[in-house]
Structure 1
Amino acid sequence: MSKDTVADVGMNRTGIKTSPVDSKDIIAQAEKARPSSPGDAQAIADVRKQYMRESGDGLGRVPPPSSLKGVAKTAVDMLKGGKPTVFIDKLGERLAFERSGVRLYEGALSKLDVFGSWEGGPSRELLTKILDDELSHFALLMEAMEKLGADPTAMTPSADLTSVISMGVPAAISDARTNLRQTMQALLVAELTDNASWEVLIDLARGLGHDSLADRFQLALDAEAEHLALVKGWYAAGVSTEARAPMDSASMPAQP
């Protein structure tokens, strides 16, 4: 079976019906077995709640400004009734995500080299264009944080959270077993999140009076919307192309 296909018939031992005799025995033994512990899931829920109460600072705090200018800017914003740490936290989140985005498209280019594309699929030129856009957005966010006196190298709480939430995307793309079509599916998850998060950041910037930054962030969102449309189209075309392809005779089940 070619590695650039996903849904061909082949050996798969994960389903219970691959061994009818053994499966009957497994089910019978499971029905005879006693629960490993009495009660329900309440005990483990109580333990989790206790850990939550003892977690202290949670995912951490936003670091203080690293410059006198940043201290002054923070003080002014606080006097206005704003909470600039929320903005810095969300800038740190987008910074971390855009940095990861560069790596994701580097991975997609590697998949393209190995598997090639399909009709309506991604090209090297467009994948490289998106990679360059992600890198420029990373630079924009670094600049914004430095102008606010924040440290762009610090891991903010939201940056920590988004890195955990999105951990599966780079893992899927770097997996040697996944092909370019499956990479497009992983990128679609990332682009959907990226677009929604830029919208939140723009609203936050305008609400705190950072209109010039919000205008620059809007340009980034416009580019991200293009990325989303491209990836969504590539993925749909890839699935459609494979669905129309003839079944590989080598993968057909043997006739009795």
Structure 2
Amino acid sequence: MENVTRSGFNRTGAQTSLHTVQNMQAFADEQSPSGPAHIDGVLEGRSIASVRAEFVHEAERIGSVPIPTTLTGVLATGLSKLTGHRPEVLVDKLGERLAFERTGVRLYQALIDKAEAVQADVALPFTIGELKHIRDEELEHMHIVTSALEGLGADPTAQTPCADVAGVASSGAMQVLSDPRTTIAQCLETILSVELTDGAGWDLLIRLSGSAGQDELIKPFREALAREQEHAQQVKGWLERAVVDDLD
């Protein structure tokens, strides 16, 4: 795999076929959502916005937070209800974090696999050992969240609504990392966006834990946040080095 950016006969731009641009623009104007749309008769006389609004009003939510199946969970839920908190909100976000950290492990493993495949021919901005260290820390964060869920009497194997959404949102990142055509720099840029999102997620989880009266969770979550911030800085540095090296 080449790890450099090269010029080639890229025909995706309109300027490669100027004589067809006007016809393409005219067709696009006819299909504009601002006016009557005709797609197999389904949207006849209606805008796409009105159809989306209808689906929004009719759709059910994405799953639910499981009812506690352990005595610990029942008692914790009951106590939170009495104090005015909704423990399902915290459990949902913990489920999201667990799904996100699991994806983080897989993303770094995919980058390790790619780096090992090209290291003989490409100057890497990192060592394989550095990648494995971050991968292992992502795994540790998975265990932190698993312990937190079990401490609340929740089932860490259940997929909560936010966990479902996180899985869908991160699927694109996994496609980039597992694509044999992507360069190291492209993979690092993708991971950097994931790391920045990850840090924001931990920050929110810390705030939720405090609001829900689960102060014992704050310290390990803050430690995880600090590690994620370090990851983001490392990946940012690697990305800058990889892109600058591509200029030479």
- Contact preservation (8 Å) 1:4, 1:180: yes
Alignment of 1:51 with 2:58, yes or no, is: no
1:91-102 to 2 correspondence within 5 Å?
Answer: 91-102=94-105
Structure 1 residue 173: Cα displacement = 0.5
5 Å-filtered alignment, 1:78-89, equals: 78-89=81-92
**How far does the alpha carbon of each residue in 1:42-83 deviate from its partner, in whole angstroms, 9 at most, with x for none?**
621111111111112x11211111201110111001101111
User: Could you tell me how far apart the structure 2 residues matched to 1:235 and 1:36 are?
Assistant: 40
TM-score where L is the length of structure 2: 0.89
In the alignment, what sits opposite 2:9? 11
Question: Can you list the C-alpha shifts for 1:70-126, whole angstroms capped at 9, x where unaligned?
Answer: 10111001101111110000000000000011100001101211233647x121111
Larger relative contact order, structure 1 or 2 (CA cutoff 8 Å, min sep 6)? 1
SS in 2 for 1:85: helix
Residues 115, 180 of structure 1: 8 Å contact kept: no
Q: Is 2:158 the counterpart of 1:154?
A: yes
Identity %: 40
* Structure 2 counterpart SS, 1:166: helix
Q: Tell me the TM-score normalised to structure 1 length.
A: 0.86
Distance 1:94 1:201 in 2: 8
Q: Please report how far the alpha carbon of residue 32 of structure 1 lies from its aligned counterpart in structure 2 after TM superposition.
A: 6.2
> 1:29 deviation in Å?
3.2
Asked if residue 132 in structure 1 is aligned to residue 136 in structure 2, the reply is yes
The residue type equivalent to 1:143 in the other structure is S
Aligned residue number for residue 122 of structure 1:
126
**Large movers: runs of 4+ above 6 Å:** none
Which amino acid counterpart does residue 77 of structure 2 have in structure 1?
A: T
Partners of 1:210 and 1:231 lie apart in 2 by 32
**Contact 2:65 2:92 survives alignment (8 Å):** yes
SS in 1 for 2:153: coil
Aligned to 1:27: 21
Please say if residues 14 and 21 of structure 2, whose CA atoms lie closer than 8 Å, have aligned partners that are also in contact.
no
Change (3 A) 1:67 1:240: same
Task: Give the corresponding residue for 1:249.
Answer: none
- Paired residue type of 1:48: R
Which residue in 2 is equivalent to 1:174?
178
Unaligned runs of 5+ in 1: 246-256
1:108 maps onto 2:111 in alignment: yes
Match of 1:236? 240
Q: C-alpha distance in 2, partners of 1:188/1:197?
A: 14
CA distance in 2, matches of 1:186, 1:144: 28
Shift of 1:143: 1.1
Q: Which deviations, in whole Å up to 9, do the C-alpha atoms of 1:175-224 show, x marking residues without a partner?
A: 11102111101100110000010000011111212112110111111111
Distance in 2 (alpha carbons) for counterparts of 1:35 and 1:65: 54
* Kept in 2: contact 1:169–1:189 (CA 8 A): no
